[in-house]
Structures are given as structure tokens and as C-alpha cells.
Amino acid sequence: MAKIKIEDLKKIKERVQAENALRHGDRRVRVTVHMGTCGIAAGAREVMTTLMKEIEEAQVSDVVVTTSGCMGLCSREPEITVEIVGEEPIVYEYVNENKMRQIFRRHILEGEIQTPFVLARGKEQS
């Protein structure tokens, strides 16, 4: 590989392993960023980038991120679904970088659903 610095990567590995050793329990939250053509065109990639930066800054390791396709409500994109273990999934609409930061800090970290941005509750239909 032309650029990757293996020593830096090894340091990251050691840091993440140390963080995981301190963590109790499994994944607490799953965030799905809807990444259909409509979502990508509306800004889903920027939402994902913001989410990953927030996770890194907060140094949490119990949030898992995934992507899925279009759920059929293209005009409401970008959409994300936040699933906290033991709670009903929440689908957020018209998410942008600022809303993503707010959802991460208030809902994902503190459990407070950001009602003004909510599109629906419950699992998406495939």
C-alpha cells in the first residue's frame, strides 16, 4: 500500500482493544443510514461522515453503524433509524449534519428522542 502507515494502524488497534477491554456488555445502539440512490443524492454520505466523527469524538464503542437501501420515502431523505436495545426503533427524516450531531448527542448518548425530526416509530417494511 502506498500511503497507509502500519505503525499508526497498530497504535489504533491497541487503543481500540484497550477501550473494548474496559467496556461492559455488547452493542447498545444500532444506527442505520439509509443509503439508496435517493438517500445518497440527498446527503446520506455527509450524515454518515458526521456520525462516524461523533462516535470517534465521544469515544464510545457500543454504537454499531450500518447502511441499508431505500425504504420508499425518497422525498424524506436522508433518513436514519436509531435502534436502542429494548426500545422501539426511531426513524428520523431530513437528517443533515447538524441534526445528526443533535440526534447523536441527545438521543443516542442520553436517550432523549428528538421528536421534531421523527418520521416514524417501528421497523421499516422491506
Distance of alpha carbon 35 from alpha carbon 27, whole angstroms: 22
- Closer to another protein by Cβ: residue 65 or 113: 65
Binding mask 20-39 for another protein (x = CB under 8 A): x------------x-xxxx-
Distance of alpha carbon 126 from alpha carbon 71, whole angstroms: 7
- Closer to another protein by Cβ: residue 80 or 90: 80
Bond prior to 78 in cis (omega within 30° of 0) = yes
Distance of alpha carbon 19 from alpha carbon 60, whole angstroms: 9
Beta bridge partners of 118: 92
Residue 114 CB: number of other CB atoms within 10 A? 18
Site for another protein in 47-76 (CB under 8 A): 48-49, 52-53, 55-56, 61, 64-67, 69-72, 74
- Closer to another protein by Cβ: residue 40 or 90: 40
Contact footprint for another protein (CB under 8 A)? 1-6, 8-10, 12-13, 15-17, 20, 33, 35-38, 40-41, 45-46, 48-49, 52-53, 55-56, 61, 64-67, 69-72, 74, 125-126
